[in-house]
Amino acid sequence: MRKSQFALWAFLVFAVLAAGAAVLNVSRGHTANAPASSQIYRHLDLFGDVLERVRTDYVEEPEDSKLIESAINGMLSALDPHSAYLSPKHFQDMQVQTRGEFGGLGIEVTMENGVVKVVAPIEDTPAAKAGMMTGDLITHLDDEQIFGLTLQEAVEKMRGPVNTPIVLTIVRKDEEEPLEIKIVRDVIRINPVKSRAEGEVAYVRITTFNEKTHANLKTAVKKLQREMGSKLAGYVIDLRNNPGGLLDQAIAVSDAFLDKGAIVLTRGRNLEETQRSNARDGDITKGKKIAVLINGGSASASEIVAGALQDHGRGTVIGTRSFGKGSVQTIIPLGSNGAIRLTTARYYTPSGRSIQAKGIDPGIKLEQELPDELRKKTLKPRGEANLRGHLKSKDGDEETGSSSYVPAEPEKDTQLQFALKFVMGTATAADAKKMAEAAALRDKAEVEELEKKAEADADKKTKAEAN
How far is the C-alpha of 196 from the C-alpha of 220, rounded, in Å? 9
Which residues in the chain come in under a pLDDT of 70? 1-36, 376-379, 443-448, 450-451, 454, 458, 461, 463, 465-467
Based on the fold, state whether residues 179 and 293 are members of the same structural domain: no
- What are the percentages of helix, strand and coil residues in the chain, rounded to 5? 40, 20, 35
Based on the fold, state whether residues 249 and 269 are members of the same structural domain: yes
The secondary structure of residue 125, as a DSSP letter, is S
* 303 within some domain: yes
Q: Could you tell me which residues are beta bridge partners of residue 138?
A: 116, 170
* 154 within some domain: yes
Based on the fold, state whether residues 266 and 390 are members of the same structural domain: yes
Residue 257 CB partners (closer than 8 Å, separation 6+): 237, 283, 284, 285, 290, 309, 314, 315
- Predicted pLDDT of residue 396: 84
Based on the fold, state whether residues 230 and 342 are members of the same structural domain: yes
Q: How many domains does the chain have?
A: 4
What is the CATH classification number for the domain harbouring 170? 2.30.42.10
- Predicted pLDDT of residue 432: 93
Tell me which of 427, 442, 459 is where a domain ends. 427
Based on the fold, state whether residues 280 and 217 are members of the same structural domain: yes
Range of the domain at 120: 101-189
DSSP β-ladder status, 84-86 and 179-184: unpaired
> Other C-beta atoms within 10 Å of 293: how many?
28
The secondary structure of residue 348, as a DSSP letter, is E
| Torsion over CA: 16, 22, 25, 30 (sign) | positive
- Predicted pLDDT of residue 207: 94
3-state secondary structure (DSSP) of residue 84: strand
Is the separation of the CB atoms in 391 and 343 below 8 Å? yes
* 270 within some domain: yes
The structure's pTM equals 0.81
How far is the C-alpha of 431 from the C-alpha of 438, rounded, in Å? 11
Is the separation of the CB atoms in 456 and 443 below 8 Å? no
How far is the C-alpha of 330 from the C-alpha of 343, rounded, in Å? 6
Based on the fold, state whether residues 219 and 311 are members of the same structural domain: yes
Based on the fold, state whether residues 282 and 205 are members of the same structural domain: yes
Active site residues per annotation: 300, 311, 325
Task: Indicate the helix (H) or strand (E) that contains 13.
Answer: helix 2-24
How far is the C-alpha of 164 from the C-alpha of 184, rounded, in Å? 5
- Predicted pLDDT of residue 307: 98
